[in-house]
Amino acid sequence: MAETAKKSRLSRSRTRSAWLFLAPMLVTLAVVAAWPLGRTIWFSFTDASLDLMSDARWVGFRNYLEYVEWGDGEGQYYGLLADARWWRSVWNTILFAVVSVSFETLFGLVIALVLNQQFRGRGLVRAAVLIPWAIPTIVSAKMWAWMLHDQFGIINDMLQGLGLISQPIAWTASPDTAMVAVLMVDIWKTTPFMALLILAGLQMVPQDIYEAAKLDGVPAWRVFRKITLPLIMPAVLVAVVFRTLDALRVFDIVYVLTPNTDATRTMSVYARENLFDYDQFAYGSAASTLLFLVIALITITFIMATRMDLEGKRS
C-alpha cells in the first residue's frame, strides 16, 4: 500500500517535471512559430501595412478575392485569386518542385547505387559527393551565376567547344532559360541529400538476398527491379516527400540567381516582394497563408498515409 502510494507520488512528480522541462522549448516554439503564424493569417484578412501594423482593420476576404461592381451591371474581380502574376508564380513553383524533385530522385538513385558498391576510394567519392550539399545556397547560386555568365561563363565556353551551341546563351537573363538555370543549380545542390537518404535505405537491404539472386543467375537489372527497388521504396518515398515540401517553399536560389523575372518567380518570392518591396503587407500575408495551407495539406496527408510512429511503440 505504502509502496504504491510512493510510486504514484513519484510518477506524479515525474509528470510535473516533464512539463517543467518541456516549458522552455514550448514557449520558444509558441513565440517563434505559432504566434507569428496566427498573426500572418490575421494580417491576411486586414488592411495592415508595413508601418501601420497595430492599426490593422478587418477587411474580410478582400485580399484574396473581391468583386468590385462598377455600376451598370459590370465589374471586375480583384485580389490574390484574380491576380495573373500570382497564378504564374504558383505554376512556377509547381513546375520547379516537380522537375527538380524528379531529377534529384533519379540522379540520387544512381549515385546511391554507385556508393553502395565496394570499390577503392569509396570514402573519398562519398565525401566529394557531399560538397554541393555543404555549400551555402547563396554561394552556389553565385558560383553558378558566374559559370553561366553570358559572356565570360565557362558553361557557354564548354558547350561551344563541344559544338552544341553556336551562340552564347544568356542563361539567367533570358526568360526562356531562366527556369532551366534555377533548376540546374538546385538539382546540383540537392542531389547529394537525396543520394544519402536513398543510400541509407539501400544499406538496410540484407546482403544475402543478392547472394541468393546471384547464385540463381538472375540478371542484375531484374534483381534491381524486382528486389532492390521495392525494398528501398519506403526510403525513396520519404525522401521525395521531404524534398517536395522543401521545393515548394524555394526562395534563396530564385531570389539570387534570377531576381525580378516572371519566368521564375515562385510563391515565396511573390509573397516577400509584396510584404517588403511593394508595401502590400496584408496582400503578401495572404500569399504566405495560401502557401502555408498547401504545405500543411500535403504534410497532413503524408502523416496520415504513413501512420507515423510517434510514441515509439514499434521500437
Name the minimum Å distance from CB 36 to other proteins.
Answer: 3
Q: Closest CB to other proteins among 72 and 311?
A: 311
Q: Closest CB to other proteins among 157 and 262?
A: 157
Contact present, 49 and 279 (Cβ < 8 Å): yes
- Return all residues near 150 (Cβ < 8 A) that are at least 6 apart: 156, 168, 169, 170, 171, 173
Three-state SS sequence of 73-114? CCEEEECHHHCHHHHHHHHHHHHHHHHHHHHHHHHHHHHHHH
Count of beta carbons in the 10 Å neighbourhood of residue 281: 23
Name the minimum Å distance from CB 151 to other proteins.
Answer: 8
Residue 171 CA to residue 153 CA, distance in Å, equals: 10
Q: Closest CB to other proteins among 99 and 245?
A: 245
Contact present, 178 and 187 (Cβ < 8 Å): no
Name the minimum Å distance from CB 69 to other proteins.
Answer: 30
Name the minimum Å distance from CB 290 to other proteins.
Answer: 9
Alpha-carbon distance values, 284 to 9, 13, 37, 193 (Å): 52, 47, 13, 31
Q: Closest CB to other proteins among 76 and 260?
A: 260
Question: Which amino acid type is present at position 274?
Answer: N
Name the minimum Å distance from CB 70 to other proteins.
Answer: 32
Residue 283 CA to residue 62 CA, distance in Å, equals: 9
Q: Closest CB to other proteins among 10 and 229?
A: 10
Cell numbers for 95, please give them. 513546375
Contact present, 101 and 244 (Cβ < 8 Å): yes
Q: Closest CB to other proteins among 70 and 221?
A: 221
Name the minimum Å distance from CB 77 to other proteins.
Answer: 24
Contact present, 270 and 224 (Cβ < 8 Å): no
- Return all residues near 294 (Cβ < 8 A) that are at least 6 apart: 248
Q: Closest CB to other proteins among 70 and 119?
A: 119
Name the minimum Å distance from CB 20 to other proteins.
Answer: 8
